[in-house]
Amino acid sequence: MVALVYLIPAALLLGGFGLVCFLWALRTGQFEDLDGAAYRALHDAHDDRFKDDGKG
Amino acid sequence: MALQAALDAPPIDAGCCSIGGLAAPASRAAVTGADPHAYVAVGEDGIARLDAVVETLDCPSCVPSIEGVLGRLDGVLAARVNAGQRRIHLEWDPADVDLDRILAALDGLGHRIAAYDAARLGGREIDEVGRALLRALAVAGFAFANVMLVSVAVWAGLAQDMGPGTRAFLHWVSALVALPAIVYAGRPFFRSALAALRAGTSNMDVPIAIGVSLATAMSLLETTRNGPHVYFDAALGLLFFLLIGRFLDRSLRRRAFAAAQNLLALRAVSAVVIGHDRRTEVRAIEAVRPGDVVAVAAGETVPVDGRVTAGRSDIDAALVTGESLPQAVAPGAVVHAGTVNLTAPIEVETAAAGSGTLLAEIAAMMDRAGQAKARYVRLADRISRIYAPVIHALAFAAFVGWMALGGADWRQALMIAVAVLIVTCPCALGLAVPAVQVGAVGRLLKRGAYVKSGDALERLARADTVVFDKTGTLTLGRPRLEGIDGESVGGDPGELIALAASLARRSTHPLARALVAAAGDGPAADGVREEPGCGLEAEISGVRVRLGRRDWVGAAATAAPHAGPEIWLRRGEDPAVRLRFADAPRPDAAEVVAGLKARGLRVLLLSGDRRAVVDELADSLGIAERRADCLPGDKIAVLNRLAAEGRRVAMVGDGLNDAPALAAAFVSLSPATAADVSQTAADVVFRGDALAPLLEAVDVARKADALVRQNVCLALAYNVVAVPLAMAGLVTPLIAAVVMSASSLVVTGNALRVQRRG
């Protein structure tokens, strides 16, 4: 039962950390456009097909 | 509208995945709606900003491709796409790059944008209420999970001789986590309940607020007395599930609202104002004042009500009156906003604002009609009206019953009353309706039908009559070549059409365009002269060829009258031949009408167009009841008569003249090519050339209605079982938590069925 004294605070701390991360993500607007976020994840950064050739 | 889109659409719509696609140099090709230059805002920091709607987001790689290409342009500081709202926010340095370059890049990808005034349409501001709900949800979820963690330990311990000291410790831990969480996460409900009580009424939040507060207070009391049962987890669970329902409801409304705003942007209007020094300036329509002279090029929509001051042309008034034949205008003629200038540039002096303008009249009619619609009460509200008093009564009865008959002390009786309040958890009810409606609206969105609100869905499911407008609704609003009559010396029909098309390729008149579309590829004749209001003339192989109005072409007046538009072709002194056009019905119009009738709906056709045209279309589509030559007032009169008979009418229309009827009907739908005002008045807007989204909307609405009723029954059934148990004092926190979670999950699971076909 002594274990509870540090196990419960540990659980709360970890959970609290998760909560803080969620609130931060919310504040920086990461939940505004969930569809766009899903699409951006599909983007292949090495894809050169859409390179813009020619300036101006 | 449809004509405008047909005239302005880029030649190929290959989607964003066209590699090295046709990059048209003219930025005009990448634009629908207003000229984006009118909406560019340059801030004090010298950065130009623009918000626009991107309706062509059809595939997952559109977002990274647009952002990638635009981001790589020198001078572009930000190109952020919001896929959920289908909008893009652009920021660039005007010194390094200009808007035309950006538009050309977009066009190269096959996308079109419609700019809007961000201040007017909003959308970029943070959704404060939604975020507050999410924060409350997060806190409630965190607390619910952790308190449940501890509660399970307690429940297990209760079965296995947990000592009172340990139990007390665990209860205190629960209390410590739960109390701040309940205070924070419960704010939306407490605020709403207080507001209702102060106004002297009750709403759905009052029993929730009472239940949560009492449960918390009693549990705290029990904790201090080292009692066996506390309900912190149940209170938190209640808040958690209800917040989910509330958030879903809100995000549904936001999405529908954004979609509706986007449609306004798509139809936004800019005007080219001619100053006293003959210099032209592109302005947003809000900045145009009465007395300003506006230049309207051939093929453009007339942006203002006014009088023609220069130029002679033909005006297509289909959007305003439903009349399918263009009317000639000359200086002094009155023109209305929303009509399309066909043949030649004209200058229009903006009319003074006043009660006499057509738009003002239509707006007034809409206001009067809209009052009736506001009285429809949503199903959820109807339930909550009965719900609150009933549970209050039951809880009170339990309290009094146990005190008087059960011989319990006030604390035990109160605990039981609290258990009753909690267990008649409205979380299933709170989730039942939004969960289904979010799913239904999302499914319809994918099929090209924007539903503006949950109660639009409810009303659509209950409609038993459908009234159609004709031009632009049942038809595409675009003419199509039907046939060619008359003999010409030495010419076969194909050759005559090719000849006519060679002249027509030099004109932007919709009939000319329809002719060219029918004829296919071919040469355009040289030396073609366009006479506004009359037709086209050219010399071909030394012979004068005329294509246009019958009397100008010089045809004999012997031909049988034709219901739709027509033009005549005459080569030299040969007899003239007639080319007949008709406004083609939508490809699946007949099937949709049959489908509606098969679903038990009565179908009517009301149109402002002439009798002959209306009869022809109605017969071909199988609509028995029809009326022609309708003014906006006539349409409302028909709707009122039907309503008086007890019928619930779904009105489908697009023109300005339909807007009052759309506002007056029980539920209204309009195509995406409709006038601004009509789209704002409609409950559902459907995209594309087909009418199928309409039928699908009716089916999904009915299915959603059935699922909502099932959900409500499930929620009530669960209550019927749980309330007697609670009143008997048998509901421990464990049972309460399990039962609440189970009912919520069942209701949500059932709601998912709206996504499946059939």
Mean pLDDT, range B370-381, rounded to an integer: 58
CA distance linking residue B458 with residue B715, whole number of Å: 19
Alpha-carbon gap, residue B345 to B299, rounded angstroms: 9
Helix (H, G, I), strand (E, B) or coil at B290: coil
Residue B74: active-site member: no
Number of alpha carbons in the 13 Å side-chain half-sphere of residue B416: 24
**Average pLDDT in the B583-609 region?**
90
Confidence band for B181, pLDDT divided at 50, 70 and 90? very high
Residues 9-48 of A with CB under 8 A from B: 11-12, 15-16, 18-19, 22-23, 26, 29, 31-36, 38-40, 42-43
- List pLDDT tens digits, range B667-717: 989 887 766 556 667 788 887 788 999 999 999 999 998 988 888 888 888
Instruction: Name chain B contacts of A39, Cβ cutoff 8 Å.
Output: 60-64, 83
Residue B138 has pLDDT above 50, yes or no: yes
pLDDT at B238: 85
CB nearest to B138's CB, from A19, A40, A56: A19
**Rounded CA separation B705/B600 (Å):** 16
List of long-range contacts for B537-546, beta carbons under 8 Å, 24+ apart: B537/B503, B538/B503, B540/B499, B540/B502, B540/B571, B543/B571, B543/B572, B544/B571, B544/B572, B545/B499, B545/B503, B545/B569, B545/B570, B545/B571, B545/B572, B546/B570
Q: Do A23 and B83 touch (CB under 8 A)?
A: no
pTM for the whole thing?
Answer: 0.68
pLDDT of residue B398: 86
pLDDT band for B262, please (50, 70, 90 cuts): low
| Nearest in space to B499 (alpha carbons), one of B546, B563, B560 | B546
Locate B135 and state its tokens: 């924060």
pLDDT for the residue B385: 74
Is the pLDDT at B353 greater than 60? The verdict is no
**How high does pLDDT run on average in chain B?**
79
Residue B457 near residue B441, CB atoms below 8 Å: yes
Distance from CA of A26 to the nearest CA of B (A): 7
Closest chain A residue by Cα to residue B76: A56
Instruction: Look at residue B3 and tell me whether its pLDDT is greater than 50.
Output: no
Q: How far is A56 from chain B (nearest CA, A)?
A: 7
User: How far apart are the CA of B685 and the nearest CA of chain A, in angstroms?
Assistant: 22
Identify which of B63, B105, B139 has the shortest CB distance to residue A19.
B139
Instruction: Locate the chain B residue with the closest alpha carbon to A24.
Output: B135
> Over 90: is that where the pLDDT of B594 sits?
yes
For CA atoms B595, B596, B598, B604, the dihedral sign is negative
Q: Which of B113-117, B254-258, B468-472 has the highest mean pLDDT?
A: B468-472
**Model confidence over B5-48: pLDDT tens digits?**
333 333 333 334 433 322 222 334 466 667 788 888 888 888 99
Disruptive mutation site among A14, A17, A22, A39 for chain B (greatest number of B CBs within 10 Å): A39
**pLDDT tens digits, one per residue of A9-47:** 898 999 999 999 999 998 888 877 777 787 787 776 655
Q: What is the per-residue pLDDT for B5?
A: 36
Catalytic pick from B35, B107, B292, B469? Answer: B469
**Calpha distance B241→B232 (Å, rounded):** 14
All residues of chain A having their beta carbon less than 8 Å from the beta carbon of residue B166 are: 1, 4
pLDDT value of position B257: 64
Instruction: Specify the pLDDT at position B9.
Output: 34
Report DSSP letters for B365-380, one per residue: HHHHHHHHHTTPPPHH
- In this prediction, residue B26 carries a pLDDT of 30
The span from the CA of B421 to the CA of B396, in Å, is: 9
- Residues B212-246: pLDDT tens digits? 898 899 899 889 988 888 889 888 988 998 888 88
- Determine the angle formed by the axes of helices B589-598 and B611-621, rounding to 10 degrees: 60
Query: Are the beta carbons of B81 and A36 separated by less than 8 Å?
Result: yes
Q: Contact, B188 vs B136, CB < 8 A? A: yes
Among the partner-chain residues B74, B146, B173, the one whose CB lies closest to the CB of A55 is B74
Residue B230 CA, chain-centre distance (Å), reads 47
Please tell me the predicted confidence (pLDDT) of residue B20: 31
Q: For the residues B57-85, what does the mean pLDDT come to?
A: 82
**Smallest CA–CA separation between B130 and chain A, in Å?**
10
Quick: pLDDT tens for B390-403: 888 888 888 888 88
Q: Which residues of A touch B82 (CB under 8 A)?
A: 32-33, 36
The one-letter amino acid code at A14 reads L
What phi-psi label fits residue B477: left (phi over 0), alpha (psi between -120 and 50 degrees) or beta? left
Higher pLDDT, A36 or B169: B169
